[in-house]
Chain A
Amino acid sequence: MIMKKYTKYIIALAAVFASVGCTHFDDMNKNPYVVYETNSESFVQPILYNTRKQLAYCDYYIFGDLMQYTINTNFENSAQLVYNYVISENFINQMWTLYNQFGNAQYMLATARKECESDKGNPAMVGVALVLRSWIGHLLTDTYGNVPYSKAGIIALQGNEFDYTVPYDDQKSIYIDLLRSLEEANACFAKAQEKVEAGTLTSANFNPICDFMYNGDVEKWRRFGNSLYLRLLMRVSNKAIEESQGIISLGDEFGDINVVAKINEIYDSFLSGEGDYPVMRGIDDSARVQFSSKDSALYTSFYATTSGNWNGEAACSTLVDKMLINYKSGKENEVNPTYKWDPRYFRYFTKAMGAPSQETREYLSDYFDEKVSSLGNSLIGRYPKGGYTGDHIGDLKMDPAYAILNYDEILFIFAEAGVRTWIPMSQKAYKDLYLDANLQSILQWQVGWERATDYYTASSVEVINWMDYLDDEFDYNKALETVMRQKYVAMFWVGVEAWADYRRTGYPVMRTNGPAAMNNGTLPTRLRYPSTEAFQNAEHYTNAVNGWLNGDNNMLTEIWWSSTAESKAIRSLGRK
């Protein structure tokens, strides 16, 4: 029979099929171009770069216009006029996307903690992770108020039993954890130092390739961490004093702290260069993320933004009035003989013209050239008056270093604490701190990066002239306002800082209810939660909105640390 004859072939065939079984399926489903686990330091640079890049987008499109640094001339649609407090859903969502980086920081922290379970682990990495997480965490809560925090960003750590709905925490408890985290980070850095001294760790520093900011220098991370701690202490100080005489309980490990005492402790460390809380000691310590147009890995958010769109962001008179003194801002482009100017101005902008915020299109048309086009006009052809070419937000487009926290900021904070008499010091002492803060800010903007073009480089004479002016006009009766005004100037494009200071102190006093102002004529106290939350995180979102927001996802409810009597009173001065 044929069948018998060929049975052996059939059996052979069956054997071939049987041998190519499922045995390699697990290997087959492993991605060969990724890693399945790595060490904690591998997360640092991506978190720094991605967070600061996204934040710069928000600085440009949201916070710049919100804080009256800039006015966007290009948007035809009223839905995008941030300076009138109309903030589109697209913009609302931009800060929320930072949760991705928050998740990375959580993953890094978990990895670093696991590393520390062995003796060889470097506690400093836990510190770095905590600093990064605290940075992103405060950006989120300062923007939206109560936000997902304690259970946020951990989906990657949850294995197969994951929960993609995340509860919202109230801002006070978030701040308690932020402060606690930075205490812990400082302790971790100290512990790493001890391990090095004890010889169990060769070096506390980590691989420079993982950290373009400080090249893995853990000492600098510690100073950054404590400076961030100082920033957040100041943020909650008024509220804590009003609420509980400045006492905040950080839980079992770190106990109760007094915010004023803590600021003093940090100030002492700053003065002495010793102590438990080392902070930044010069502009070289500033936390800044360097971008580059030469390397696509380091592009800014604006690398491909057309110059037409980029040019559409004009200077706002609120800022210009503080930087160009006696300059007839606006229509005539005239220079007054007594004109004095801040050397940073032409770092920020290339045009000496400022337009007011919250005005109608018709009114603003006098400030903008609508009649002349230049290359790259993408929408309608409005430009700030004065000249046809050139960017007018300086070199923030291509090769900037965007600041996370500049050295000058801590000087401003110490000066403010001095004015408030929280840190006991003489009037001259806080004035000196104030002047130094301004000078350091100017220097920071001078040396921050190489300019591609030389529109302007301030000479030392011009810096001295401006410093003399600041010195002369300092009024001890208005010391707080002056300090906060100049801090506002210095906080240009430093994330949410200017907005946070405004909500905390009310300074600088700004008009907020101009003719075109929406949002009840109030500068938004927070951004709305993204509308996607209503779908994607429905239960927790509803709880949050029905809770502290009284049922309305608005931009008027005071967040925890901003709802102080002082702040509200000063902010109301801008509503006339």
Chain B
Amino acid sequence: MAGVGVIIASTLQGVVTDINGNYEIKATPVQELQFSFIGYKTESVKVGSRTTIDISMVEEAQAVEQVIVTALGIKRDEKSLGYAAQKVGGDVLASATNSSNWLSGLSGQVAGLNIQQSNTGGGGTTRVTLRGESSVDFANNTALFVVDGVPMYNHSTTSDAGGEGSLNAIDYGDGTGDINPEDIENVTVLKGPAATALYGSAAANGAIIITTKSADKLASKISVTYSTNLTFETVNTSPDLQYEYGQGTRDDYYYFVRSTDTGKGSGYHPEPSYSNQTGLLSWGPRMDGTLYYQYYDESAGIGGSIDQFGDFRREATPFISHGDWFKDFFKTGHTWTNSISVSGRINKRNSIRVSVRDSHSEGIIPNSPSNMQHVALRTRNEIAKWFTSEISLNYRRNQRDNIPVSSGYSAGAGIMYSLWCYAPNIDMDWAKHYWLDGQEGVQQDTSLTGGKNNAYFVANESINTQDRDRIYGNVKLNFDIYKGLTLMVRAGLDSQWDFRTQRYATSTQSDPNGFYREQMIRSMQYSGEFLFRYTHDFKHDINLTANFGGSIINRKYERHQQWADNLKNPSVYTLANSASLVKTNNYAERRQTNSLYGLVQFSWRNALFLDVTGRNDWSSTLPASNRSYFYPSVSGSVVINELADFGRTNGLVNLLKVRASWAQVGHDTKPYRIEEYLNSTAFPGNVTTPTSKVNGLLLPEKVSSWEVGIDLRMFRNRLNIDMAYYNSKTTNALASMPVSASAGMTSVFTNAGSIRNHGFEIQAVGTIIRTKDIRWNISANWSINRNKILELGDGIDFWQVAGRGSYAYMYAYEGSSLTSMYGRRYKRAPEGSYVIDASGKMVDVSGQVVHDMNGSPIINEEIEYVGECMPKWRGGFGTSFSWKGLKASVKFDGQFGGRVWSETNWALNYRGKGIATLEGREGGFVPKGVMQMADGNYKICDYEHTSTSIQAYYQALYARECCEANFVETSFLKLREVRLEYSFPKKLLAKTKVIQGLSISVFGNNLYCWSKFPGFDPEAVTMRGSALSPGFDLLQMPGTASYGGSISITF
């Protein structure tokens, strides 16, 4: 190879190879030769006694990305894979390690991966889906998390009395984030069933394989890394709020008395002392400084002053905006994390790594502190040449002192529910004094929320705590049994204790006597597995690897609840203070899956690869007759450039791989769905029949999929493109299907219908500049997924997938997508409708909104299709630039298309708080559209709303009952990350003799969002019951931007 630099290490002497790749250099035997070439890995060779040193250079990019961890922890050469697998290095997650959930670092990084969170700050549930929704049960569609080869047992449990689907849910998190991000070596995303066929049921929706750092590749004997970082979090988006008009209604009543008024209407109270209320509605007068008797608070000196006799007198004060009432409630959150890791390589055979992480944070909602500690241990011991052991052990503690009820329109203790009750003319500081004077601890002041809970009262008194301890880890033993035959045996444990309390203070709107609840959740997963592996190289470049293994995964879950529904003494939160019998509610489930599986891989000349797998599962959740199910997969790839030359030598095409795979994966169900039982009730010894029909004939759900892809690397690996098309079909879809209540139950568990997801993914990485000191990379990904119901069960016309009251539904009809949204729409003039205008001409008005004689849009009674909630496509784009030790990176990502039903939009506009409701407040307004006359004909809408009737118009326009009115776009583009990092040069650090590495970084995440979405965060989804449900924004929490810096130092 020509042009390779050959230098003698630690000297300035060097030569360059000639056109034939030859070189000549003088060196002593103790010296070391370094061979370097751009794009290739630098090699060092001790000279020794040799006179000729031939080396072959390895391409750098390939060297880095070659090996990938696949299912069951099997490490594979990436080019041998017949399915899509994407590796994300730990460094990519670097900025996200400091945010509340490291998983957010995957956002926009992987084509086909979708992350949804409910914006409740650290520790919340994260919904990760790959390649669309495959099952009717959304909780069933999330990816499996595997840490060091063992599936994690992640579950989330609501603590709300309303149970599943309740809007009053508290997001306690599902445990997916329970890993120290600084321990992550890399993450592999296995997207399709072919990749995960060996993980079985749980991985039917793909898997996130996390490999943690170990010390066995360590260069030096001992390395200690300490890092600290501080991140601040602020609200980054805001709905389009108006700041011009204050509380009240349009028909001359403003809830309080105007200074000049003598009173209107018989309800008028002449004493200006009467009303101290604000209302939910903001249709009041312009905040132009006119004097009014407004809200007053004697002890805080608001709205009046002490007169000469020492009495408090209300005074008329200017009616003005006090700034951003909504955002003022939120504060700047922060997270401070310290972590230290010690890695030691005792000798070549034994290594150990210990890491400790401690993190304290405070969210954007007042009074929401939490802290977390994580200790991890990883060892590798080569006990004998044929026997190694690896131990991975983690302990994690999450303590969250107050988890806000994040969202939902409910009279419980939702922060957002309260916040939407404030008016633009108030100062959030007024609300901070939330007890009524003299009634501290007994009666909250609801004057500013029109009788609803005071937001500060909720934040400070409706407290939800969580203490969670989790231990997980595994012991893995590897045996080299015979030439080419190895055995791996692994035992894993994942154990969690989760203790929670919830309290409502006395005078909480929904529970005037307050309550106190305790909940203990205990879960345990035992897993055991073995895997034989045999590798043999035959003649003619044929290579065979065969794996045979089996596993048992046993899960236990228990929940014990004790509820004191009425408190005897206010503000005393113990079960002993219950005014009524303490209610208990217990639940437990156990399940086990036994499996046997095999994998055979053939390869020929490192160019043709073929994998065949088969797995049989036995699941305890299915009826005995259907308990055992087998599923196969086949995948193959052809590395064309190994067979034909595409100019590899001149670096044009470095890799051209074509891959294809087909797989089938079985999917079991939840426990207790096969045998009829009776539910216990709140009445001791009394029972009811359940509302869901169990089914002793359930079959496992099957997901069959095929995939083709191309992997192309060109220009000395400076341009890598990976494309995939996949098509997966779920058959025997397990559904809880709604049936007529007249059957006696409202749903039945059944295997009904089939669902298809297909899509296209493309991922490209380009290196624009690659020199010794400068490197400039650009990466982009794009994905599209389409979902379609191919068929429903016999006699079934649709499934209700999700719904919000009678306002919006997600229905699945045959031929449409699983995530289609339905609801009521505006009445529109039918096709061919016309009006005769003033000049006598016919004007086509088809499709225009029809108004009634009062100029309000008419809403159809029928439930109709309103649109699709899943986006048309998603994409990400990023660039990074490095110059010596300085590295800068920027990432964007976004989605296009897709709409959700937004209760935020309703609250914003129905209550007159949004800028969309400003037009016509003064001077009136003629709506666009037509009016239907008594004879059935149309006329151009000429009803002029006055400043009085404009409220009624907007309230009809944004009626919650009208799904269309609040069905809003979620397209967005986010500036996801900006990061600047400087690593001090090793040469400089070498002088200290102690410090081996030092880097400083500053970063910002989610800095900006371009979107038409009227709510806070187009990405956020709502927690309902114990699951996140896409398609509905139910008064969601704001999204946050985070800024921070970190220092990492290695000794």
Contacts and interface: CB of A to CB of B under 8 A. Distances in A.
Interface in B656-672: 671-672
Contact of B591 (A14, A28, A45, A50): A28
A536 B738 contact: yes
Interface stretch (A112-120, A369-377, A440-448): A369-377
Interface string A27-59: 011111111111000111111011000000000
A155 B583 contact: no
B961 A371 contact: no
Contact of B275 (A372, A535, A539): A372
Contact of B588 (A33, A166, A212): A33
Contacts of A154: 743-744
Interface in A300-314: 304, 306-308
Interface stretch (B479-487, B494-502, B699-707, B762-770): B479-487
Nearest to A167: B742
B163 to A, nearest CB: 14
Interface stretch (A98-106, A230-238, A474-482, A557-565): A98-106
B552 interface: yes
B267 A29 contact: no
A26 interface: yes
A82 interface: no
Contacts of A100: 689, 691, 741, 744-746
A387 to B, nearest CB: 10
Interface residues of B, number: 101
B316 interface: no
Contacts of A160: 695-697
Given A209-B685, A378-B280, A152 B743 contact: yes
A102 B745 CA distance: 10
Interface in B125-154: none
Given A29-B675, A99-B741, A148-B742, A295 B275 contact: no
Contacts of A537: 739-740, 742
Given A22-B627, A35-B677, A90-B805, A155 B267 contact: no
Contact of A308 (B451, B744, B861): B451
A164 B580 contact: no
Contact of B743 (A103, A377, A380): A103
Given A79-B961, A373-B450, A306 B744 contact: no
A306 B281 CA distance: 17
A162 interface: yes
Interface string B889-916: 0000000000000000000000000000
B955 A153 contact: no
A33 B586 contact: yes
B530 A294 contact: no
B687 interface: yes
Contacts of B688: 43, 46-47, 50, 104
A187 interface: no
B959 interface: yes
Contacts of B671: 28-29, 31
Interface in A60-84: 76-77, 79
Contacts of A370: 249, 251, 253, 265, 267
Interface string A372-415: 11111111110001000000000000000000000000000000
A242 B681 CA distance: 46
B309 interface: no
Nearest to B510: A304
A296 B688 CA distance: 17
A17 to B, nearest CB: 6
A538 interface: yes
Interface hub of A36, A297, A379 (most chain B Cβ within 10 A): A297
Please classify the interface of chain B as helix (H, G, I), strand (E, B), loop, or mixed, using the class held by over half of its residues: loop
A296 B683 CA distance: 10
B850 to A, nearest CB: 15
Contact of A29 (B266, B510, B618, B620): B620
Contacts of A307: 451
B1028 to A, nearest CB: 25
Interface stretch (A1-9, A244-252, A277-285): A1-9
B969 interface: no
B331 to A, nearest CB: 28
Nearest to A541: B740
Given A1-B482, A30-B675, A46-B681, A153 B624 contact: no
Interface in A126-165: 147-148, 152-156, 159-160, 162-165
A272 to B, nearest CB: 37
A54 to B, nearest CB: 11
Contacts, number: 277
Interface hub of A1, A13, A88 (most chain B Cβ within 10 A): A13
Contacts of A380: 249, 281
Contacts of B269: 372
A246 B678 CA distance: 42
A506 B675 CA distance: 50
Contacts of B678: 34-38, 42
A373 B279 contact: yes
A10 interface: yes
A375 B528 contact: no
A381 B677 contact: no
Contacts of A102: 742, 744
B541 interface: no
A138 to B, nearest CB: 15
A200 interface: no
B579 interface: yes
B272 to A, nearest CB: 14
B745 A378 contact: no
A288 B253 CA distance: 44
A461 interface: no
Contacts of A36: 675-678
B427 interface: no
A459 to B, nearest CB: 31
B741 A6 contact: no
Contacts of B480: 2
A378 B410 CA distance: 12
A147 B742 contact: yes
Nearest to A533: B740
Given A28-B671, A370-B251, A372-B269, A165 B795 contact: yes
Contacts of B740: 99, 148, 164-166, 532-533, 536-537
A531 interface: yes
A6 B481 contact: yes
Contacts of B674: 29
Nearest to A91: B806
A385 B266 CA distance: 9
Contacts of A97: 741
B961 A77 contact: yes
Interface string B850-874: 0000000001010100000000000
Interface of A: 1-3, 6, 10, 13-14, 16-17, 20-22, 24-26, 28-38, 42-47, 49-50, 76-77, 79, 88-90, 96-97, 99-100, 102-104, 106-107, 147-148, 152-156, 159-160, 162-166, 207, 209-210, 212, 294-297, 304, 306-308, 369-381, 385, 531-533, 535-539
19 contacts: A20-B552, A25-B624, A28-B590, A29-B621, A36-B675, A38-B687, A89-B861, A99-B743, A162-B743, A165-B795, A295-B580, A296-B566, A296-B580, A371-B268, A375-B277, A378-B451, A379-B280, A531-B863, A533-B740
Interface of B: 249, 251, 253, 255, 264-269, 275, 277, 279-281, 386, 411, 446, 450-452, 479-482, 485, 487, 489, 509-511, 528, 530, 550, 552, 554, 563, 565-566, 579-581, 583, 586-592, 594, 618, 620-621, 624, 627, 671-672, 674-691, 693, 695-697, 738-746, 748, 795, 797-798, 805-806, 859, 861, 863, 955, 959, 961
Given A13-B489, A159-B696, A373-B279, 9 more contacts: A17-B552, A42-B687, A46-B688, A79-B859, A88-B806, A103-B743, A153-B744, A295-B580, A370-B267
Counting from the closest, the 6 A-B pairs by CB-CB distance are A103-B744, A371-B267, A297-B682, A153-B744, A148-B742, A376-B451
